[in-house]
Chains A and B, each alone.
Chain A
Amino acid sequence: MTTLGAVRQAIAYLVLLLVTFLICFPLIWALSTSLKSPRDVMATPPRLLPPQVTLENYRNLITGKQQYYRADQSYVPTTAAPQHFTSWFANSVVVSLGSTAISILISTLAAYSVTRFRYWGRRIIPYFSLLGYMVPSIILVFPLFLVMAELRLTNSLWSLTFGYVSITLPFCMWLLWAFFRGIPIELEEAAMIDGASRLRVFVDIVLPSAAPGIIAAAIFSLIVSWNDFLFARVFINSIENLPLTVGVMHFFEGTHVDWGLMMASAVLMTVPMACLFMLMQRHLVAGFGAGAVKG
């Protein structure tokens, strides 16, 4: 397309900025609210920039102090104490990393097996996986709950870890299968002729070549595990074992909702995802140097 006239460009930029603002506004507003003192949060009219930036909401989350709301002359305890916030955060981290590690391990081995070896069913396994990906988690959650109950894992982080494997494994398998198919088999043949055993070929040659795909699958898996609500809601019932997603909903209990605290928790919940997001950007841009094979 040819370059646009100056006026058109200005309009385009304006629209772009407006759209970007609209998309990011919820997070911006949450950030702004989280940096306000309880008084400023309730103040009207609501202002975008906090009149006084304060980190007390974040402090409260991290230290877990019971908060009080000043209703006229008395102090009333607000929402459920944030004392479990750090536990929730830790739980989310552990469960996300754990389920991702398991999914990646299983799907990497499986994808390699399906692309390089010949046996019955190797062709339908990836499509079967894709089918699994399409099953909504609401359908899976109760049967899985019963499985976890059978294994006596309910209310433990293990149940979530394995539960998330069930929703991340299908897509990881599909993604990695597509990726492994694109790795030229000559690389492995050359390594075998060089004297490497099959396992050595897998570790030395195949895994490094598949690194971008593995990282993409890992990022996807981390995002899905971190963001899940349903499984955690059904599997876990003691408050300290909850991950962030279900935990923060407890802030609605109590006589009064501490929006500053809520927004601070929303921000903290999003920060790890935002970091992953930036990592993903760079990875998508980097691409895969296929220069070793002709072309």
Chain B
Amino acid sequence: MPAPADWRKADRRIGVLFIVPFAIAALVFMVYPVAEAVRLAFYHYNPLDPQGARFAGLANFRTLAADPLFWHSFGQAAVWTFSSIVLQTAIGVALALLLHLPLAGISVFRGLLLFPYIVPTVVIALILQWMLNPEIGVVNWSLRGAGLVDDNVYWLATPGLAMLSTIALNVWKYTPFVTICVLARLQTIPLELYDAAKVDGAGVLRRFVDITLPQLAEVLAVVVIFRTIWTFNKFEEIYLLTRGGPGTSTFNLAIYSFEQSVANLKVGVGAATGVVMMAILFLGSLVYMRLFRFDEAPQ
């Protein structure tokens, strides 16, 4: 039996060589940080005093459980995520339906759609701070001018309104994702389905509920789950607008973690929060996979 030819050995060597940079980069920049992030959760670590790091066991997690701010942040994160997702989905689907219309020049509008995604979060946060300025911001001016309010509305200094503002930023930035996914799906729905329904006598609303929505169900499920996972852990969209304030009224887990590490110099607690976030992420992904496989099984 002939031994594997030499040229094949050299060939395979090239293949292995090509993966080495990735392996190194992945280990140093992906695997190690995540492993460290988990490890730090079990240590007391002050970044200004690295030598003084002590093993803490589950102390950090106990700190979290006992800290009302932690639960507060968790709850607010849930509220923030839920509101954002609901709005993003509703507006996203509506926009997709609008952009699905056979109008001349619609492609121009479709093209403009992803624009918010590429705008740096810092930029939109800055602009929003300017627009929401209580005295001279355009939003308050318009509201006063239209007679809807009498006094200055302190958008970023009032707890509930601050939450609203951050939700607005999040919706502005990420609704296009939903729209694009839904639009792509809409474009694959065979037109004959609608024709058949029309022949059967179904009106516009009926057709939407009976044909469009079921076809969208799967893509919406995927989109909602992905966006939920991501929205729950967002940092910049809130921090750059309100820094988690006023007070702590717009804290979520990511900001809580950041504050623990940077302001309180308790990197261990910050890391523990991170572990909780990863656990939630993992759970969310499991739900996603379950749902996805569940969808595929009957087919």
Contacts and interface: CB of A to CB of B under 8 A. Distances in A.
B18 interface: yes
Contacts of B100: 1
Contacts of B191: 1
Given A12-B103, A138-B254, A146-B36, A44 B120 contact: no
A3 B34 contact: no
Contacts of B119: 27, 270, 273
B121 A229 contact: yes
B120 A245 contact: yes
A143 B36 contact: yes
A211 interface: no
Contacts of B138: 29, 46
Given A113-B16, A117-B15, A135-B30, 10 more contacts: A1-B191, A1-B194, A3-B102, A45-B141, A132-B26, A134-B285, A143-B34, A198-B11, A263-B127, A274-B115
9 interchain residue pairs of minimum CB distance: A117-B15, A110-B22, A166-B29, A143-B36, A113-B18, A143-B33, A136-B233, A227-B120, A139-B274
B29 A169 contact: yes
A198 B270 CA distance: 48
A198 B111 CA distance: 40
B240 interface: yes
Given A106-B21, A263-B130, A45 B145 contact: yes
A42 interface: yes
Interface string A257-288: 00100110110011001101100110000000
B18 A110 contact: yes
30 contacts: A1-B101, A9-B103, A16-B109, A23-B172, A29-B130, A45-B141, A46-B136, A46-B137, A109-B18, A112-B18, A113-B22, A125-B22, A135-B281, A138-B257, A142-B267, A143-B32, A146-B36, A147-B29, A162-B29, A166-B30, A166-B33, A248-B126, A263-B126, A263-B127, A265-B126, A266-B127, A270-B123, A273-B120, A277-B115, A277-B118
Given A143-B37, A166-B30, A223-B118, A117 B21 contact: no
B213 interface: no
A89 interface: no
Interface in A108-143: 109-110, 112-114, 116-117, 119, 125, 128-129, 132, 134-140, 142-143
Nearest to A246: B122
Contacts of A145: 47
Nearest to B229: A134
Interface secondary structure of A, over-half rule? helix
B5 interface: no
A140 B37 CA distance: 7
A239 interface: no
Interface of A: 1, 3-4, 9, 12-13, 15-16, 19-20, 23-24, 26-27, 29-30, 33, 42, 44-46, 105-107, 109-110, 112-114, 116-117, 119, 125, 128-129, 132, 134-140, 142-147, 162-163, 165-166, 169-170, 173, 198-199, 223, 226-227, 229-230, 234, 244-245, 248-249, 259, 262-263, 265-266, 269-270, 273-274, 276-277, 280-281
A114 B19 CA distance: 7
B46 to A, nearest CB: 12
B29 A165 contact: yes
Given A19-B98, A263-B130, A139 B278 contact: yes
A117 B120 contact: no
A83 to B, nearest CB: 19
Contacts of A144: 29, 33
A125 B268 CA distance: 30
Interface in B242-287: 254, 257-258, 261-262, 267, 270-271, 274, 277-278, 281, 285
A12 B98 contact: yes
A229 B122 contact: yes
